[in-house]
A and B are shown apart, each in its own frame.
Chain A
Amino acid sequence: MNIEELYQELILDHSKRPRNFGPLPEATVTVKGDNPACGDEVELAVKLTPEAVEALKFTGHGCAICMASASLMTIKVKGKSRAVATEMAEAFRHMLVTPEETPVPESFGDLEVFRAVRRFPQRVKCATLAWRALEQALSAAPTAPVSTEEAD
């Protein structure tokens, strides 16, 4: 597979002009995520209600895959119920680590561009960092930082 397939227009666009990038003053939870192997750092701020992910924004720096993944995630997850957001995070991780083509939730849409990351095992952590931070925000201990070096 050619690497240009990984860096599709959508990924390049979101890495250069990340959406929902910046502080979120009304956040109820903030999670720091880092990828110590390469220095990617993402801080995800989420406004959670008892039912839903009402708003989310992120700050930080990282490679194109990491930034684009965080950017697209904020668009896809905003306004979703907690249950759907959790399911999407799990499905996203699953999509990147399972060898066979697995079906993804309907809500994924163009998140499927990240399927190509599967072929570049060293880059999986870049793509999943923001999603791990989201899972943390939705978990019982939402303020603990996440690291890609922790076991899955």
Chain B
Amino acid sequence: MKLKTSYAELFGADPKKPQKSEISPEATELHAAQRADKSRIAKIHEEIALLAAHPRIETIRPFRWMVLILVNLLFLGSYYLDIQLLEGALTASRFAGFHMADLNSALQVMLAFKHVVINLVIGTVTVFILWWLLGGRTFCSWVCPYHLLAEWAEMIHLKLVSKGWVKDHPMDRRARSWFWLVFAVLALVTGYTVYETISPTGILSRALIYGPGLALIWVIALLLFEIFWSRRAWCRYGCPIGLTYGLVGAISPFKINYNLEKCFHEGECKKVCLVPHVLDTVIKGRAKKISVDIGADCTRCGRCVDACPTESLTFKFKGIGEYL
């Protein structure tokens, strides 16, 4: 995927249907072949029936949850058990004595304080490099404690939707960019880190490490909103932290890769995806190339990798060769 498109979709643009001229000759050929091959329809039905009969057990999700819980427990243990390996909270910490700072929190502080001490520079650069390597929004699905709670809320939401008791109300994805901008400007103008007041990531991380507080009411309100009104609303449409990490991850070597050759276009991946717009390319006739890297908004959660019946979505670490 082109970097420009990747960023545009990150900021909230709807994915566009590619022009014929944008599709590579190989992909055009493959699209045509897929259309001509009537037996594929039967195969797709076969795949879907098989999937219905033997629902796939997700393997990446439990592993990811384990990582997420372990990272957060490492914060807790470093304090309570005095392991001293990962001190602080998600907003800023020290890993084995080395400074780390959440990019969005650091940005808020820099804009509000208008002065940067060297430790914060070190922490920010370290974390930037770390999440550039690991994919940016990877932070969201593999580390953020709110993400885990939101996934559980999503399970309840989907259950209620299947019973017809609630309906998902999608929101405008451009909201997150506005949110990001508004809070950046507010920090600069007011001199307060206004976003931190409502950051569920910060609130949860501190609650876990230093004990619960009334601020958790806000987190619960967000979760209820997501259960009864809009699926995964905060992570999808609101969280400026997600956008900041998305900006970093756009240029990351770590991606989810889509392979058109293997794809039967069942659409299973889009059903489980937190950010289904990034998977627009899997729709029949949309892929511009045989092999497409998924865009910046992807959290590399791996649910699509698990959901895909034909293994056309995989984790991929780009070699240096692909940058040249």
Partners in one complex: no
- Please report A residues at the B interface, Cβ cutoff 8 Å: none
- Please report B residues at the A interface, Cβ cutoff 8 Å: none
